[in-house]
Amino acid sequence: MSVKITGLGSYIPEIAVNNEEFKSNLFFNLDGTRIDKDPDEIIEKFKAITGIEERRYARDDQQTSDIATIAAQKAIEDAGIDKESLDGIIMAHNFGNIPKGKVQTDILPSLASRIKYKLGIENPFCVAYDILFGCPGWIQGVIIAQNFIKADDGKKFLVIGGETLSRVLDPHDRDSMIYSDGAAASIVEHDPEENGQGILSTASMSFTKEQAYFLYYDKSHNKEIGHDTRYIKMHGSKIYEFALTQVPQAMKACLDKAGEDVSEVKKVIIHQANEKMDEAIIKRFFRLYSQKPPEGIMPMSIHKLGNSSVATVPTLFDLVTKGKLEGHELNKGDLILLASVGAGMNINAITYRI
């Protein structure tokens, strides 16, 4: 049975925030001591490591479910389907809706239920629910949809990844400059034709021994404020080493499971977390096959869009598929890898033929 992604859509928020806007921030270390460095030095070092020049934030009147609905509508239109034909909506996120200026997450009802409501879908057999799987959430949603379809429990699913990380970042933590907002969606459906296209293989892994709390929620680095407020935090160096060790192995397991040769891979669409980290992952992946990465194998959107967690992979996939990322394109028959790593710590990958 062939399972394909037949429609894609993304929403890139209108508000662009460049690195210069962080110059007035007071940054502190984890222990609460002030980072006594020139703001220009902090920002330049940040850019050199992450590759990020600017990121996008949602408008004050928008929440995660709002921007996810926009992306979902685009995916439905791209696939050319009747929304009432959907068997399910899977919404991947990590923080739910957080209204601007508030500190409490709102996930009642689920974001998927809100999106179904906003889309005006009346079909009660279109089941809507959320998943929490860290940054790999959208890929995991696609894998879940595929499993439903293979089990003959539905033929068509809407899978969305969306986040408004700007609502959970600590302005006194240098890592806050990484995060951004965004949403992207896909239609995953059964294709009766057995033509070698679609999802060829998948792989999912969870590491929860020493790694479970590499990403976590905690108080501000500035010990003088926000004692009752929690922000997204991470052990950056530990995540870096973990990702370089485990992600290439997961990607290889996925590709080998598909029985495809690495030389056939045209693009690797990987979670946009950190430019240097992603480059190192790709090098190590190809090294497992005693090869070097081909030029142009890894499209990047992080420079202008930042890290929007679950939205990064589907947004990048949408941009490349529709020829909106300079220097990159996909054609029918191309073999690609989708891969991600994030909180949990979770890793997953999909081998896909366009």
For 2-191, CATH number out of 3.40.1360.10, 3.40.47.10, 3.30.390.50, 3.80.30.20 equals 3.40.47.10
289 vs 40, more confident: 289
Question: 71 falls in which pLDDT band (50, 70, 90)?
Answer: very high
Is the sign of the CA dihedral 226, 230, 232, 234 positive or negative? Answer: positive
Give CA–CA dist 118/111, Å, rounded. 10
Residue recorded with tokens 């003959």: 152
More confident call, 223 vs 6: 6
Q: What is the mean pLDDT of residues 315-329?
A: 95
Q: How far apart are CA 346 and CA 134, in angstroms?
A: 7
Q: What is the arithmetic mean of pLDDT over 64-76?
A: 98
Residues of the chain with CATH 3.40.47.10: 2-191, 198-353
Contact 191, 162 (CB under 8 A): no
pLDDT confidence bin for 225, thresholds 50/70/90: confident
Q: What is the per-residue pLDDT for 68?
A: 98
Residue scoring higher pLDDT (1 or 317): 317
CA distance 335 to 260: 9
CB 51 within 8 A of CB 303: yes
What per-residue confidence (pLDDT) applies to 337? Answer: 98
pLDDT over 90 for what percent of the chain?
Answer: 84
- 279 sits in which H/E element: helix 275-287
Predicted confidence at residue 305, as pLDDT, reads: 97
Q: What is the pLDDT of residue 141?
A: 98
**H/E/C letters for each residue in the chain?**
CEEEEEEEEEECCCEEEEHHHHCCCCCECCCCCECCCCHHHHHHHHHHHHCCCEEEECCCCCCHHHHHHHHHHHHHHHHCCCHHHCCEEEEECCCCECCCCCCCCECCCCHHHHHHHHHCCCCCCCEEEEECCCCCHHHHHHHHHHHHHHCCCCCEEEEEEEEEHHHCCCCCCHHHHHECEEEEEEEEEEECCCCCCEEEEEEEEECCCCCCCCEEEECCCCCCCCCCCCEEEECHHHHHHHHHHHHHHHHHHHHHHHCCCHHHEEEEEECCCCHHHHHHHHHHHHHCCCCCCCCCCCCCCHHHHCECHHHHHHHHHHHHHCCCCCCCCCCCCCEEEEEEEECCCEEEEEEEEC
Residue 220 has what pLDDT? 86
Give the per-residue pLDDT at 46: 92
Residue range 45-66, pLDDT digits in tens: 999 999 999 999 999 999 999 9
CA distance linking residue 301 with residue 88, whole number of Å: 29
Mean pLDDT of the chain: 94
pLDDT for res 103: 77
User: CA-based angle 295:307:13, to the nearest 5?
Assistant: 110
How confident is the model at residue 202, as a pLDDT? 98
Q: Is the pLDDT of residue 1 over 80?
A: no
Helices (H), 120-230: 137-150
Provide the pLDDT for residue 242: 96
Which of 244, 297, 250 minimizes the C-alpha distance to 273? Answer: 244
Q: Six-digit token pair at 49?
A: 């490591």
pLDDT at 39 over 90: no
Q: What is the DSSP string of 147-159?
A: HHHHTTS-SEEEE
The pTM for the full model equals 0.95
Residue 196 has pLDDT above 90, yes or no: no
CATH code for the domain defined by 198-353: 3.40.47.10
* C-alpha to C-alpha distance for 140 and 186, rounded to whole angstroms: 12
Q: Is 343 left (phi over 0), alpha (psi -120 to 50) or beta?
A: beta
Supply φ then ψ for residue 299, to 5 degrees.
Answer: -65, 150
The pLDDT-based confidence of 191 (bands split at 50, 70, 90) is confident
Q: Which residue has the higher pLDDT, 193 or 335?
A: 335
Which candidate, 58, 158, 163, places its Cα nearest to that of 116?
158
Does residue 281 contact residue 244 with C-beta atoms inside 8 Å? yes
Identify whether the C-beta of residue 72 lies closer than 8 Å to the C-beta of residue 157.
no
Specify the pLDDT at position 229. 85
